[in-house]
Amino acid sequence: MAEATSSKPETKSDFLRIMTERGYLHQLSDHAGIDALAAKGELTTYVGYDCTAASFHVGNLLSIMMLHWLQETGNKPIVLMGGGTTQVGDPSGKDESRQMLTLDGIEANKMSLKQTFSRLLRFGEGPSDAVMVDNAEWLTPLNYIAFLRDVGRHFSVNRMLSMDSVKLRLDREHELSFLEFNYMCLQAYDFVELSRRYGTRLQMGGSDQWGNIVTGIDLGRRMGAPQLYALTCPLITTASGAKMGKSAQGAMWLNADMKPPYDYWQFWRNTEDADVGRFLRLYTLLPLDEVARLEALGGAEINEAKKVLATEATAIMHGREAAERSAMTAQQTFEQGVTSADLPSVTVSAEEWNAGIGVLSAFVRAGLLASTGEARRQIKGGGLRVNDEVLGDERRVLVDADRVAEGAVKLSLGRKKHVLLRAP
RNA sequence: GGAGGAGUGUCCCGAGUGGCAAAGGGGGCGGACUGUAAAUCCGCUGGCUACGCCUUCGUAGGUUCGAGUCCUACCUCCUCCA
């Protein structure tokens, strides 16, 4: 925790009170300054998002929730899409050479990412309505020499070298490219530019962004901007120490076309006991007394809290209806032992079905397994089931008689993953 | 520019003597136990038209019946010297 927060001054603003109570705060640069602006509804705040993928994932969710609460408490959120900075690429963290994204790819990602915000933020022209901008707007036309003279002269390399992110790389003797310096500078410049255009005063982000944000504050001071502020949220890990939403299966995407609501619901349903209270505060909008009640449930009853967590979190991203349907599907599947027609399904063509699908390829076709070899191994381990019966014969071919549930074959990997294989 | 060291299973780390689909971890996936949890224990963790075939140890050649292992060139990274 930052020393800046340790003094615990009195909080007047709803925004900071909520940030504190719900566990969003990691570091902030000036509690009193931020608090005063927030209390007046003048804390225009931005978070920047690079367009490196077509969807956000659970790891990005925290900052979006923070923007939501900011708006709820009467302040103006600004969503900055990094159409410009993505062209440079943030090299921090990655040691593998990242492929350069094409301009078209960045644009496509940007359009796809935009949809995430609509459920949590209200956009418009009003004083606390959210605004979305793209930093390509001012970064692309920049002239190198002019930028160096006007902006670059304010950067102190000495100071940048003392930043944690840089120091770490230097100490470990890892390559630190000039590109990375530029990224920091561009992000800092964004902050100043946004303060000019929208009166932005605060930048929020993950704890790894602290250095970059503070660099922006510094630049703002040197370029005559009003006092700027920083606020970061913690890097969320599960109680077991795993990074939030990252698995071998891939990221837990927020876009429904990349991760169906049912899977999203299941993700939250499988939260560890020890995380339930914390996640309810961070990832749902439930009032804190309700959270406290759910958190207090012990033993197997905690499962009720997990269901609430799953439904509430899913409702935020995919809507109440999809969340309820996911909950229903789960109840039928896990509690009643009934095959639900709403389970994820994969449809094969009539020709494919009539040609006779072997069980091995059926599981691969359903997307449950990556290869027939893996299917063979899972059969040996007793991990595959067809219509809820453990599969022992890897040579078995699916026939019409197997289509018992809703005209589909229910394929299961382990106890939790089910897919309906449909054919016309 | 000179001297030395390193690149291993496409998730990561990491052993490796000329017979290697390649030790051991971590992670992941399955099974058991449970509560769709954690912890614990067990199994699996290159591909396929599968008692066989194919592809893998930075890249390209070479020696050999046989190369991750030996030789040559090249690429990348690191350390020391200039």
pLDDT tens digits, A301-314: 999 999 999 999 99
pLDDT at residue A2 tops 60:
no
Residues of A (326-345) placing their beta carbon closer than 7 angstroms to any atom of strand B are 330-331, 333-335
Span CA (A163) to C1' (B47), Å: 47
pLDDT at A170: 62
Decide if A408 contacts A422 (C-beta within 8 A). yes
Name the band, by pLDDT with cuts 50, 70 and 90, for residue A5: very low
A226 or A87, greater pLDDT: A226
Name the band, by pLDDT with cuts 50, 70 and 90, for residue A59: confident
pTM of the model: 0.89
A229 in a labelled binding site: no
pLDDT at A97: 39
* C-alpha–C-alpha distance, residues A128 and A38, integer Å: 12
Name the band, by pLDDT with cuts 50, 70 and 90, for residue A180: low
A46 in a labelled binding site: yes
Indicate the length of chain A as a whole number. Answer: 424
pLDDT at A95: 40
**Residue A237: CB less than 7 A from any atom in strand B:** no
Span CA (A166) to C1' (B60), Å: 38
pLDDT at A422: 92
Span CA (A398) to C1' (B2), Å: 69
Nucleotide nearest to A307 (CA to C1'): B36
Query: What one-character-per-residue DSSP string does A141-184 give?
Result: T--HHHHHHHTGGG--HHHHHTSHHHHHHHHTT----HHHHHHH
* C-alpha–C-alpha distance, residues A23 and A98, integer Å: 33
Phi-psi region of A407 (alpha: psi -120 to 50; beta: other; left: phi over 0): left
Fill in the DSSP letter of residue A199.
-
**Residue A373: CB less than 7 A from any atom in strand B:** yes
**Residue A304: CB less than 7 A from any atom in strand B:** no
> What ipTM did this prediction achieve?
0.85
pLDDT digits (tens, 9 = 90+) for A146-164: 999 999 999 888 787 777 6
Q: What is the separation, in whole angstroms, between the first and last Cα of chain A? A: 58
Decide if A77 contacts A71 (C-beta within 8 A). yes
pLDDT at A94: 44
Span CA (A403) to C1' (B29), Å: 27
pLDDT at residue A171 tops 60:
no
pLDDT at A104: 86
Helical segments of A199-275, H only: 210-222, 261-269
A198 in a labelled binding site: no
Grouping H, G, I as helix, E, B as strand and the rest as coil, residue A78 is: strand
pLDDT at residue A172 tops 70:
no
**Residue A247: CB less than 7 A from any atom in strand B:** yes
Nucleotide nearest to A390 (CA to C1'): B31
Residue with tokens 């759910």: A294
Nearest residue to nucleotide B46, by CA–C1' distance, is A373
pLDDT at residue A300 tops 60:
yes
User: Across A19-117, where does the E strand assignment appear?
Assistant: 27-28, 45-50, 77-82
Least trusted range by pLDDT, from A167-171, A203-207, A286-290: A167-171
* C-alpha–C-alpha distance, residues A277 and A295, integer Å: 5
Nucleotide nearest to A382 (CA to C1'): B31
pLDDT digits (tens, 9 = 90+) for A262-296: 999 999 999 999 999 999 999 999 999 999 999 99
Nucleotide nearest to A416 (CA to C1'): B36
Q: A287-296 as b/e, with b when 16 or more CB fall inside 10 Å?
A: eeeebeebbe
Closest by CA to A48, choosing from A91, A100, A83, A94, is A83
Nucleotides of chain B touched by protein CB (<7 A): 11, 27-32, 34-39, 43-50, 77-79
CA A225 from chain centre, in angstroms, equals 31
Residue with tokens 């429904």: A256
Decide if A172 contacts A165 (C-beta within 8 A). no
A99 in a labelled binding site: no
Count of alpha carbons within 13 angstroms of residue A371, beta-carbon side:
3
pLDDT at residue A7 tops 60:
no
Report which residue type is found at A56: F
pLDDT at A420: 94
Q: What is the mean pLDDT of residues A243-251?
A: 62
Nucleotide nearest to A394 (CA to C1'): B50
Nearest residue to nucleotide B78, by CA–C1' distance, is A173
Decide if A35 contacts A19 (C-beta within 8 A). no
Span CA (A271) to C1' (B40), Å: 19
Q: Mean pLDDT in chain A? A: 88
Residue with tokens 């109680």: A239
Helical segments of A23-83, H only: 31-39, 58-72
pLDDT digits (tens, 9 = 90+) for A86-124: 877 665 544 433 556 778 888 999 999 999 999 999 999
Nucleotide nearest to A327 (CA to C1'): B36
pLDDT at A86: 84
pLDDT digits (tens, 9 = 90+) for A379-401: 988 999 999 999 988 889 999 99
> In 10 A of CB A300, how many CB atoms?
7
| Dihedral sign (CA A361, A367, A371, A376) | negative
Q: What is the mean pLDDT of residues A315-337?
A: 95
